[in-house]
Copies of this chain bind each other. A is one copy, B any other.
Amino acid sequence: MSVKKAGVLGATGSVGQRFILLLSKHPEFEIHALGASARSAGKKYKDAANWKQTEVLPAKEQDIVVQECKPEGNFLECDVVFSGLDADVAGDIEKSFVDAGLAVVSNAKNYRREKDVPLVVPIVNPEHIDVVENKLKQAAAKGEKKPGFIICISNCSTAGLVAPLKPLVDKFGPIDALTATTLQAISGAGFSPGVSGMDILDNIVPYISGEEEKLEWETKKILGGVNKEGTEFAPISDDDLKVSAQCNRVPVIDGHTECISFRFANRPAPSVEDIKQCLRDYECEASKLGCSSAPKQTIHVLEQADRPQPRLDRERDNGYAVSVGRVREDPLLDFKMVVLSHNTIIGAAGSGILIAEILKAKNII
């Protein structure tokens, strides 16, 4: 199996650390460049980062010398560059990398709403990558140099939400109403400082800045389609799909729990058993492609009354699967259920890795 060269932008931050940890154990990628702020540049990674992961980083990765986040040096030799940059700097830096012809997979929010940028949950809508593939083919057809591109990872709470909805929409037709109340883990907020202990011990914070808007909007892009030229995305309209989100931060380390309800546009609606069977049967494209991180079982349908629970279920399929429980009829819409996803794996860095595996499987990188 060929090994691709990977770069990581924002390498010392919490998302960057996750990228590095996952890459350090990855059979198909090796870390070739690490980028951080000017203050860290020139240092060995172990000296630049305050490593806060629960696994020890191998010595090889610890000794990589960090460079600045500029498209130069080792970064230019990377097959793919993962970005864990904060939004306030991601815009300019990621653009400079794309302009330099690099393939960027970003966890930042900056380009998610761009018309020609795929917003991808790899176990949900890998077909959105076709827009990039088409662009590359067109450039090749014109004899142009292979252009850079960017693929955005979705917001963490969006990933868990759309995972079970996609197979349902594919099988039973459009959903026209959707509510989601989230109970989100603190790891998504990073750790310096992230969520303060005084705010989260014996407490709930019923607000996460910008989160509800992301959840409501991204869902429409991810479940939406592409124009007929295959060059731009066509999110579902607000009229066709009403989404209402209420987002909360809870005292959980990893794992977003979402209590959702939804209604199908078509009548009659399927049965509870239809829903569960459809979810059980779903096999994501990444699994079919044989991607090494793809979950064996994309969606776990749990039958115990009190599951899924973040501490017990977040690690299923190494965090790349989504768990669903309590599927039942809803007095208002059609169905309600509980969805659990690992916010730093399928909701962030892990999604980036799996997207890159798909790019590799499709020979895009």
Contacts and interface: CB of A to CB of B under 8 A. Distances in A.
B198 A196 contact: no
Contacts of A193: 193-194, 196
Interface string A296-315: 00000000011111111001
Contacts of A204: 183, 250, 252, 257, 309-310
A238 B190 CA distance: 43
Interface stretch (A3-11, A51-59, A63-71, A353-361): A51-59
A1 interface: no
A1 to B, nearest CB: 25
Interface in A153-184: 177, 179, 181, 183
Given A54-B312, A201-B202, A201-B311, 11 more contacts: A55-B315, A56-B316, A187-B198, A190-B198, A196-B196, A197-B199, A206-B309, A207-B306, A238-B331, A244-B336, A246-B259
21 contacts: A55-B315, A179-B261, A179-B332, A183-B250, A190-B198, A191-B199, A192-B196, A195-B197, A197-B200, A197-B201, A199-B309, A201-B201, A202-B251, A202-B252, A203-B312, A204-B250, A205-B306, A206-B257, A206-B338, A207-B306, A253-B311
